[in-house]
Structure 1
Amino acid sequence: MTDVIGEIRALFAAPSFVIETESPRDVAVRENLLDRAMGENRRKKSSEKIRRGRLPAEGLALVARDENGLVVGTVRLWHIDAGVSAGGNGVPALLLGPLAVDPRAEGKGIGAALMRAAIKAAEKRGHGAILLVGDPEYYERFGFSAAKAQHLVMPGPFERRRFLGLELKCDWLTGAAGVIVPTGARIRAVKLRRAA
């Protein structure tokens, strides 16, 4: 009888969401979710300027879907060079963000699950480091620290204490100093033909 009770508890403790790779049909839903979760000013952030006009890193755009298949969370990672100085090259890295959960689905562990999945996927793909701008109180539990980003700067206003790094490979960011610049593939404009 104890085994049956344990199985029932495990069933109810199981998450009511799954993490998957983002699909093209998720784009509009993701954008609406980001607007609800982050507000109208999200497009004015320095991180957003780095991402604008770029594609996320291959295989590193993830969504969380609820039991009905609806997108309730999102995270994406972007190719950057960390620490580009005058006349120099930076260290290849990833910029994480935005991470967002639908306000109606908060408190279910969706954000943490997306973070763990994103970090694991980046490691599997051989990336050396992830940078982000976010609350240290939240991201430190995943291994992020301000010390890893202390010699790096965003190309625009940012709060120093919220600029964090995580090395996926030992000492990857050692010696990196300077500005973060985007390096990912650009979104190609689609030309539409007019009907004759």
Structure 2
Amino acid sequence: MTAKRNNPVALIREAAPFAIRAERASDVVAREALLDACFGDNRHARTCQRLRDGRAPATGLSLSATHQDGRLVGTVRLWHVSAGGRSALMLGPLAVDDDCRGLGVGAALMQRALAVAKARGHGAVILLGDAPYYARFGFVAAKTGELSLPGAFERDRLLGLELIDGALDGAWGMITPTGAAVPESKATRTRSRTRKAPLAVPHAA
């Protein structure tokens, strides 16, 4: 009788318990609840929201993170803007459910969004967020110093990333929305909250 061997088995890293995919119409209610939890009831009064109100996100750049149990646990969208005469995208809001902190959901959403933006030929991405967090993705304040937002903002939080070298060269002036307009009735419905919001982690406004 041959003795049973206790051969060591290499540990296989578990697959991420979430997936990144294009946003669906069925995500809207959960997305809005997540954003309410993350940014508060006054989020529609924030400076960056002025660049999104009444506008459609850039095509292909509304992404959702879903947990393996089916819950929506993260969201990010990007929007067409003119950055002082330079065509660019404004990233935000980016939010992650608090239950999924530490799983890399925010980083995965960022990486996918930037990859899609680059593949679609966009030249630059701008956001308002914490420099230490976004530096890992290449965002810096080097070429946003002459840009402004339509409202109060902290200068050191206005960051940019060039997907094409020189895309933000000479960018100066007010950042303004350029995305396609959406019907007011649809925009109003999107802002309505229909369920209690979960705790969440805010990233980009």
Q: In structure 2, what is the equivalent of residue 118 of structure 1? A: 113
Asked if 2 retains the 8 angstrom alpha-carbon contact of 1:36 and 1:103, the reply is no
1:178 alignment partner in structure 2 = 173
Q: Which residue matches 1:33?
A: 34
- Amino acid of the residue matched to residue 158 of structure 2? F
**Aligned residues, how many?**
180
**Equivalent residue for 1:72?**
73
Give the aligned partner of residue 21 of structure 2.
Answer: 20
- 2:135 is equivalent to residue 140 of structure 1: yes
- 2:104 aligns with one of 86, 104, 109: 109
Match of 1:5 among 10, 18, 28: 10
Match of 1:151 in 2: 146
How high is the TM-score relative to the length of structure 1?
Answer: 0.88
Q: 1:169 aligns with which of 161, 164, 170?
A: 164
CA distance in 2, matches of 1:166, 1:56: 18
TM superposition score normalised by structure 2: 0.84
Distance in 2, Cα, partners of 1:133 & 1:79: 15
Cα offset, 1:189, TM superposition = 4.4
1:164 CA drift (Å): 0.3
Unmatched runs of 5 consecutive residues or more in structure 1: 84-89, 192-196
SS of the equivalent of 1:148 reads coil
Of Structure 1 and Structure 2, which has the larger fraction of its residues in helix? 1
Q: How far apart, in 2, do the equivalents of 1:108 and 1:52 lie?
A: 31
Q: Which has the higher contact order (CA 8 A, sep 6+)?
A: 2
The equivalent residue for 1:98 is: 93
Contact persistence 2:54–2:184 (CA under 8 A)? no
Amino acid at match of 1:183: T
Q: Does 1:128 align with 2:133?
A: no
CA distance in structure 2 between the partners assigned to 1:170 and 1:5 by the alignment: 43
Q: Unaligned stretches of 5+ in structure 2?
A: 1-6, 187-205
- Aligned mates of 2:137, 2:130 — CA distance in 1: 12
Identity of aligned residues (%): 52
- The Cα shift of 1:132 comes to 0.3
Q: Deviations over 1:145-169 (max 9, x none)?
A: 0112111111111100000000000
Please name the residue that 2:83 is paired with. Answer: 82
Q: Which amino acid aligns with 1:181?
A: T
C-alpha separation in 1, matches of 2:105 and 2:185:
34
